[in-house]
A and B are shown apart, each in its own frame.
Chain A
């Protein structure tokens, strides 16, 4: 599980494309400098968005023949920052720049018992782990939750491979996942690995903490791309610098501030490290959609600071999805930076 995160860039050729669920495309890549991808690893790649190049991360679903073929799966998000739209234009024979596999979500072999939890497209980070745990004959349960069966990639394959070890929860079939029941049934010594929407992961973390299970046994990966609310356009102001910038639906506050010429400090850009922290001076009639995992729940509630790489402002103070619509006045957040 050596976590190696040197970005070794190489070219890769698209060799096969297929649709594996509504809006989810499976893309097989042949890298020019193959390296085996361990479970939990991902690649970064350069996506062409509006003529420019932007970096995006995708979990590796499968690594074949010591990494000579790497498989990713891309969900075309309804509110995309452009990456998934580009990925869905790829055709066999196309080439793109990718990194060798990077690892932030290593699977430990040798735990007494495992629960793997995937919400929606989060299955892409979990699938390879499940395959490995099956191969080493580990005691594991794979829990796969989705809104609707048609949008759940690889469901049939997973049923065939994992049989009774797979538990499926589908919202529109009335079998939604009960997080407290799931976490309530976990014994100490069990490791839980999860990837999915932030609502799901926050709920699991809260339940895990309430049960006083060991925090290091709760494993998750976040790319900071989901929130409690749908993203809206909002306005950010820095009075000390005389800056006012619009943060579009498909941009982050960090990107908007960089575009406005503010010299910003940052590192992970996915809500983990806390370096891009900004101080909230005022929030005019809205709420902060904290999408980071850096702050504790207490700190998020206090709403004194936010991780501007992922977190957003929304116009509704109650922040329900229905209240947040495009006709409302955009939220205005006034901040200061380091």
Chain B
């Protein structure tokens, strides 16, 4: 592992995004036979499915005059036709038909990007395709496991993706941003433990023998009707490079052994977050809330999704305001607090990815 000499880079307000990584381009249900447009990591994409149902990501610009292919239509087994002059490309991005001539210009291609469909998402790899190993798709297995139920949404966040990662890696902000739902004083008072390896960063926080905030009291009562009393609460934040964060969250009846692994007297959720940069100042924030109790209740699925929607709406407002303040104060620096340890390790891992791509200097 390379040691970075520059310490200034770790306090950069925002970072560039690695390209040799899988990013979520869309929820699985969003990609259909009707092409759609989405920009991921500064690359406009046309997304569609072949007749066989395989998801395809092509650059959203026809080779000829750059007309957006996403405005075109799917044709044949796996093709897409430019809406302007009718040039047809196959799912590999190769021209299959040029209406006005008897041959096909051998240069006529549009980039086709590797795609993997996993965990209810369509993931795309925009960097070196020879490194696009499906095993590198971040672990979000709770999304489609029989032991978990839940649903989520997409937030179009008007900020650099790094700001969302910062937000999720330090949950002391809950006390102030989400005071009415999940915030409580103990969040900033309790100790936390940070660890990391080459690809992941983990921040763990336990709050023992506390009152459950409103969101968690409701969840406890869904599983234990009429529940009253103190709880042990946990937040185990796990980042997987470059931009996926799963948060193992829950509460259990105080003193029933949750810190030692017995969560039977509690409720457990996973906040699933994966953030795909769109531009340097915007990102697609895909999230879901999964739970491992009352799996058959669509009511609870909907209530939780709507509840988290409200909570994340508060984050969105803060992130937007923060990006605007960063833009309005270009000569001011970021300073770091002890609570930023998780977020700082995230930055360190992302910087190493950028360095490996030879793009660190360009990103700063």
Question: Among residues 93 to 131 in chain B, which have CB atoms less than 8 Å away from a CB atom of chain A?
Answer: 93-96, 101-107, 109-112, 114, 128-130
Which residue of A has the minimal Cβ distance to B105?
A: A272
| Minimum CB distance partner of A293 in chain B | B106
Determine if A135 is an interface residue (Cβ-Cβ < 8 Å). Answer: yes
The 0/1 profile, CB within 8 Å of A marked 1, for residues 85-99 of chain B is 000001011111000
For the complex, what is the distance from the CA of A299 to the CA of B110, rounded to whole Å?
27
The answer to whether B132 has its CB under 8 Å from any CB of chain A is yes
CB-based A-B contact count at 8 angstroms = 72
In the complex, which residues 4-58 of chain B have their Cβ closer than 8 Å to any Cβ of chain A?
43
How many Å lie between the Cα of A296 and that of B104 in the bound state?
9
Interface of B is mostly: loop
Q: Which of B63, B92, B102, B106 contacts A299 (CB 8 A)?
A: B102
Give the distance in Å from the alpha carbon of A106 to the alpha carbon of B114 in the complex: 14
Contact across chains for B101 and A110 when beta carbons are under 8 A apart: no
Check A298 for interface membership: any CB of B closer than 8 A: yes
A298 touching B102, Cβ below 8 Å: yes
A106 touches B109 (CB 8 A): yes
Bound Cα distance from A2 to B90, whole angstroms: 16
B92 / chain A contacts, CB cutoff of 8 Å = 108, 111, 216
Binding site for B on A (CB under 8 A): 1-3, 34, 36, 38, 66, 104-106, 108-111, 132, 135-136, 214-217, 219-222, 268, 272-274, 293-296, 298-299
State how many angstroms separate the Cβ of B57 from the closest Cβ of chain A: 12
Beyond A106-B111, A216-B94, A274-B101, 8 additional contacts (C-beta under 8 Å) are A1-B109, A3-B63, A3-B110, A36-B128, A215-B104, A272-B107, A295-B103, A296-B102
Which residues of chain B come closer than 8 Å to A294, judged between CB atoms? 101, 103, 105
* A104→B130 contact, CB < 8 A: no
In contact, A272 and B106 (Cβ under 8 angstroms): yes
Sample (19) of A-B pairs whose CB atoms are under 8 Å apart: A3-B63, A3-B110, A36-B128, A38-B128, A106-B109, A108-B92, A108-B112, A109-B114, A109-B130, A132-B130, A136-B130, A214-B90, A215-B96, A216-B95, A293-B106, A294-B101, A295-B102, A296-B103, A298-B102
**Number of residues in B with C-beta < 8 Å to the partner?**
26
Give the distance in Å from the alpha carbon of A38 to the alpha carbon of B129 in the complex: 10
Instruction: Report which of A135, A136, A221, A295 forms a contact with B106, defined as CB distance below 8 A.
Output: A221
A2 touching B111, Cβ below 8 Å: yes
Q: How far is the CB of B126 from chain A (nearest CB, A)?
A: 8
> For residue B100, which residue of chain A has the nearest CB?
A274
A-chain residues with CB within 8 Å of residue B251 when the two chains form the complex: none
Cα–Cα distance between A6 and B104 once the two chains are bound (Å) = 22
- Cβ contacts under 8 Å, B105 to chain A: 272-273, 293-294
In angstroms, how far is the closest chain A Cβ from the Cβ of B112?
7
Does B59 touch A at the CB level, under 8 Å?
yes
CB distance from B188 to the nearest CB of A (A): 44
Please tell me if B358 contacts chain A, counting CB pairs below 8 Å. yes
CB distance from B45 to the nearest CB of A (A): 12
